[in-house]
Chain A
């Protein structure tokens, strides 16, 4: 043990689970490396045997221990004196320990427990946004169905409703009318004065994710990622592109300004992740997390900005400028990159696959190339959506989605896809002049949809979710059959549109090429 070096303790992220994947181990490892490079003796606590963070030579000393208050305090007692503890890279596991550790008198390096709690406390946080004049979707907390309807009338449908006590999108729904809202309030959730329901205006728009590094005064934004699926799909399950493809410079300017001011006001030191939804040119804040997010390794690699290293130096008291970085948005890199989720539905019987506010993916990959459509193609291929240039597509669409789906299906038809659809969808497509072949619904007799999927003739299923419970029961069966048959199933028209774009790039563009991570950073 080196007695002269100052010590810092880093908390790891525990077992890999849905919502807390390998990204957080990546962050912890880089934090440890940055600390060691800065001359600190670095101690890591983690319990996941699968990871690099628990390799014997990653940290100066590794404690293979549970990440509970007691176990961590025991290690801290033994390692005293030390400079402080770093919690912001270890996901929710480490963040959850910030408050109890602070109460036990432990110094948390970087954003304090108060900053972390501020982002979670709706009232405090809204007051801060009002003071800074930063917009968020209008909304309020309610405790009765009547109050909910009243608020909905004030802010207008569609509304996003969710219980205040649940994190991570569970039991979140988008409602379009009084009936749907009332049904949700009466049947879907337990409402009580202790457990209010949050009701917000659902801004139908592009969702955008920003990761930034703050030294407490200035803020560096390595990059912005635009989600491909519209708001309402969990950020961990949506595809996303860097740099943004359809966000106006004025909007980006606003996001940079908001992020910078928020980081300063919240006393953020280290990394922070902000999610916006854009309506017109206006970005609305939907979520702020003063800690490392899932996108940190992605942005680090595609922008060449070593985010965790810079953030760690900030935790040690250095400024962004003193590290040779100019605060503000880092210049866009020449080669777009697309992140896509990967699911493990084949392993999990009983889990329905539609994209929604609850995260379902287990992993993610990245596709990068000289332009957006080609990067999209690589991302979809790497995510296992390997469909031929010409093939057969089966579409089962909710009524509300039919007109939006039409141009997308036209693109597939133009590529040479044969389009199969259930009777209603088929009539609609034919009326619009698109050649489609009818397929029986499950109850309409053999051969029905499921038989067609099992025949191996279908290359792609596009299935959008209906509000009609009757239709939905069939929808779930169709989706399950596609999982069993290993047929890609897209439940968001945005993903389908991206896929058509990607296939066009493959059909009409040059053959695909490969480059190293470094080469992609050059023109």
Chain B
């Protein structure tokens, strides 16, 4: 039996349909008969072709119990339906319903799930294995909250997160005892267990994620790592993310990778898992923030970024296969125990609903607000970023943003300091007005490497404008090639040079500047791929 994630809400979007559909297919290929439950019929996983028995019924323990009584499944795979599916499976297990009907929990054992999800047990385990976790307190009563707020020597500001909620809903950063009480009380109300965690706030640290997998033989691999452009303090679902990480030294990369593998081993996870870490940009200090012992939005992104089908492999592990026995379907030649290699850059940008909800608070915090996301791949970070921006459909075809030139300097400063959906565009505008990388880094907390790249895009805007008159000459070829390589569309070039999109397209085609395509094959072309996918770039070689 596989439980889906229910309706699309902020924090749980289509990624669990993707994971569930992949799991159903993988399980049936292995000869397993699948019972699928989800209340959301607008999903592929609820197609009658996807599972042997498909139920579209409310996702409540009572209805799931009826389905279990009727179908008597041998096993339940709890880690594919997001937090909703996992919470339901945990509840069915603790209520004894799974035991009553002899249903075995497949994949990651319940013990491992609770160890990862229960903050206190997780922290205890981390301390045992010597992995650093930030100071934190679990609060379940108003009195405890007040008491905590009065303690001296607290590492202010503190971050408050309600336990067991979708996308960390209802949390926030408290700078004063009063704020701590207010946010804490709201968090407890929103938490199904009436529990919040108060923690040292690591705002400004780099946020790095690792997607790791483990099987019952204790074989572990890293699928990929991802770096959030927005430093700690912004929910990873609301953060611009790049894969693989771009600003880590090899030492930092290896340190965090080892930590992630150590963590998945110590938890005893059998399947996929996402590890979130905070890295101090000034030292090699880091903290383990959170672990998701299931497939997640991040694992969907990692899958698409690398070509490695995490949900499929996790389901195969759940029914007892080992990483060295599972073929990689993309290459058809390698095994699932090969770590993917990336010879390109991936950028994800969240899609926020502020175009519809004009009155909404646009600030992005530890509470996720995006309804969806886009991903783009390219040879360079700049071009992947530009592609992702125009994929958003927010009226921006590049980093030129409607209304940005009207922002006052004060507004820009505030847009850089306080994260909103417009911060990326504010950074570009800041460079247009001549701010230095150090200044923007100081205000936004973005790593200078990213800012350097963004400034390069802005400088290209100016160069194109400056060369508007002599674009027809052959010398323009170099400039156009460079602009295309940075991800400028014909339309943007046309706008900057006062021509039409059609003119630019004709001009660059005549100069031989055309898109070529590269393959995503999980192995950086080491092996030939059978079901690859493509991304465009302005490079010489075209891969077919």
Residue ranges of A at the interface with B (Cβ–Cβ < 8 Å): 1, 14-19, 21-23, 25-26, 29, 47-52, 54-57, 61-71, 73-75, 77-78, 93, 168, 294, 297-298, 301-302, 342-344, 346-352, 358-360, 362-368, 378, 381-383, 386, 484-486, 512-518
**A22-B43, A61-B534, A512-B63 are known contacts. Are A56 and B360 too (CB-CB below 8 A)?**
no
* A49, B307: Cα distance in complex, Å: 11
Closest 5 CB pairs of A and B: A16-B372, A363-B8, A363-B7, A15-B351, A382-B58
Q: Check if B453 is an interface residue, CB within 8 A of chain A.
A: no
* A358, B300: Cα distance in complex, Å: 31
Task: Evaluate contact between B189 and A486: CB separation under 8 angstroms.
Answer: yes
Minimum CB–CB distance for A381 against chain B, Å: 5
- Residues on the B chain within 8 Å of A518, using CB: 48, 54
Task: Evaluate contact between B531 and A57: CB separation under 8 angstroms.
Answer: yes
Task: Evaluate contact between B356 and A359: CB separation under 8 angstroms.
Answer: yes
Please report which residues of chain B, range 335-388, place their CB below 8 angstroms from some CB of chain A when the two chains form the complex: 348, 351, 353, 355-357, 359-361, 367-369, 371-377, 387-388
- Residues on the B chain within 8 Å of A48, using CB: 14, 372-375
- Residues on the B chain within 8 Å of A56, using CB: 307, 309, 329-330, 531-533
Q: Check if B314 is an interface residue, CB within 8 A of chain A.
A: no
* A77, B509: Cα distance in complex, Å: 12
* A297, B41: Cα distance in complex, Å: 7
Task: Evaluate contact between A347 and B22: CB separation under 8 angstroms.
Answer: no
Q: Check if B57 is an interface residue, CB within 8 A of chain A.
A: yes
* A77, B357: Cα distance in complex, Å: 38
Task: Evaluate contact between B56 and A49: CB separation under 8 angstroms.
Answer: no
Chain A residue with Cβ nearest B505:
A70
Task: Evaluate contact between A298 and B304: CB separation under 8 angstroms.
Answer: no
**A48-B372, A51-B18, A68-B489 are known contacts. Are A514 and B356 too (CB-CB below 8 A)?**
no
**A50-B13, A52-B14, A362-B8 are known contacts. Are A346 and B190 too (CB-CB below 8 A)?**
yes
Chain B residue with Cβ nearest A25:
B14
Q: Check if B137 is an interface residue, CB within 8 A of chain A.
A: no
Q: Check if B450 is an interface residue, CB within 8 A of chain A.
A: no
Q: Check if B397 is an interface residue, CB within 8 A of chain A.
A: yes
Q: Which single member of B21, B63, B490 contacts A514 (CB below 8 Å)?
A: B63
Please report which residues of chain B, range 50-79, place their CB below 8 angstroms from some CB of chain A when the two chains form the complex: 53-60, 63, 66-67, 70
Task: Evaluate contact between A350 and B359: CB separation under 8 angstroms.
Answer: yes
Known interface pairs A17-B355, A49-B301, A486-B189; 10 further A-B residue pairs with C-beta atoms within 8 A, sorted by A's residue number: A62-B533, A68-B390, A70-B490, A71-B387, A78-B517, A301-B46, A347-B11, A347-B167, A360-B357, A365-B39
Q: Check if B535 is an interface residue, CB within 8 A of chain A.
A: yes
Minimum CB–CB distance for B231 against chain A, Å: 21
Q: Which single member of B15, B54, B534 contacts A516 (CB below 8 Å)?
A: B54
Task: Evaluate contact between A50 and B353: CB separation under 8 angstroms.
Answer: no
- Residues on the A chain within 8 Å of B303, using CB: 49
* A55, B356: Cα distance in complex, Å: 29
**A64-B533, A351-B360 are known contacts. Are A298 and B42 too (CB-CB below 8 A)?**
yes
* A26, B387: Cα distance in complex, Å: 24
- Residues on the B chain within 8 Å of A22, using CB: 8, 13-14, 17, 40, 42-43
Task: Evaluate contact between B44 and A66: CB separation under 8 angstroms.
Answer: no
- Residues on the B chain within 8 Å of A512, using CB: 63, 66
Task: Evaluate contact between B304 and A54: CB separation under 8 angstroms.
Answer: yes
Q: Check if B246 is an interface residue, CB within 8 A of chain A.
A: no
Q: Check if B391 is an interface residue, CB within 8 A of chain A.
A: yes
Q: Which single member of A17, A78, A301, A367 contacts B372 (CB below 8 Å)?
A: A17
Task: Evaluate contact between B60 and A65: CB separation under 8 angstroms.
Answer: no
Chain A residue with Cβ nearest B542:
A78
Task: Evaluate contact between A63 and B359: CB separation under 8 angstroms.
Answer: no
* A65, B387: Cα distance in complex, Å: 7
Q: Which single member of B54, B63, B351, B535 contacts A65 (CB below 8 Å)?
A: B535
Q: Check if B107 is an interface residue, CB within 8 A of chain A.
A: no
Q: Check if B170 is an interface residue, CB within 8 A of chain A.
A: yes
Q: Which single member of A15, A301, A513 contacts B393 (CB below 8 Å)?
A: A15
**A78-B517, A362-B9, A382-B59 are known contacts. Are A350 and B357 too (CB-CB below 8 A)?**
yes
Task: Evaluate contact between B544 and A1: CB separation under 8 angstroms.
Answer: yes
Minimum CB–CB distance for B32 against chain A, Å: 17
Task: Evaluate contact between B70 and A514: CB separation under 8 angstroms.
Answer: yes
Q: Check if B146 is an interface residue, CB within 8 A of chain A.
A: no
- Residues on the A chain within 8 Å of B361, using CB: 348-350
- Residues on the B chain within 8 Å of A55, using CB: 18, 21-22, 309
- Which of B44, B55, B377, B517 is most buried by chain A, counting CB atoms within 10 A of its CB? B44
**A49-B373, A57-B531 are known contacts. Are A351 and B359 too (CB-CB below 8 A)?**
yes
Task: Evaluate contact between B393 and A93: CB separation under 8 angstroms.
Answer: yes
Task: Evaluate contact between A49 and B351: CB separation under 8 angstroms.
Answer: no
Task: Evaluate contact between A346 and B59: CB separation under 8 angstroms.
Answer: no
* A484, B170: Cα distance in complex, Å: 9
Task: Evaluate contact between B534 and A63: CB separation under 8 angstroms.
Answer: yes
Q: Which single member of B43, B58, B70, B305 contacts A378 (CB below 8 Å)?
A: B58
**A350-B359, A363-B8 are known contacts. Are A64 and B59 too (CB-CB below 8 A)?**
no
30 pairs across A/B with beta carbons < 8 Å? A14-B393, A22-B17, A25-B44, A49-B348, A50-B373, A51-B17, A55-B309, A56-B329, A56-B533, A64-B520, A64-B533, A64-B534, A66-B376, A66-B391, A294-B42, A297-B42, A301-B41, A301-B47, A347-B369, A348-B353, A358-B356, A363-B42, A364-B42, A367-B57, A486-B189, A512-B63, A512-B66, A515-B55, A517-B48, A517-B54
Q: Check if B536 is an interface residue, CB within 8 A of chain A.
A: yes
Task: Evaluate contact between B39 and A15: CB separation under 8 angstroms.
Answer: no
* A201, B167: Cα distance in complex, Å: 43
Q: Which single member of B11, B14, B169, B355 contacts A50 (CB below 8 Å)?
A: B14
* A67, B389: Cα distance in complex, Å: 11
Minimum CB–CB distance for A362 against chain B, Å: 5
Kindly supply a per-residue 1/0 record for chain B positions 1-26, scoring 1 wherever the CB is within 8 Å of any chain A CB and 0 otherwise: 00000111111011101100110000
- Residues on the A chain within 8 Å of B535, using CB: 63-65
Task: Evaluate contact between B491 and A70: CB separation under 8 angstroms.
Answer: yes
Q: Check if B297 is an interface residue, CB within 8 A of chain A.
A: yes
Chain B residue with Cβ nearest A369:
B57
Task: Evaluate contact between B58 and A381: CB separation under 8 angstroms.
Answer: yes
Q: Check if B481 is an interface residue, CB within 8 A of chain A.
A: no
Minimum CB–CB distance for A447 against chain B, Å: 17
- Residues on the B chain within 8 Å of A29, using CB: 44
* A68, B501: Cα distance in complex, Å: 12
Task: Evaluate contact between B58 and A362: CB separation under 8 angstroms.
Answer: no
- Residues on the A chain within 8 Å of B167, using CB: 347
Task: Evaluate contact between A386 and B43: CB separation under 8 angstroms.
Answer: no
Task: Evaluate contact between A14 and B330: CB separation under 8 angstroms.
Answer: no
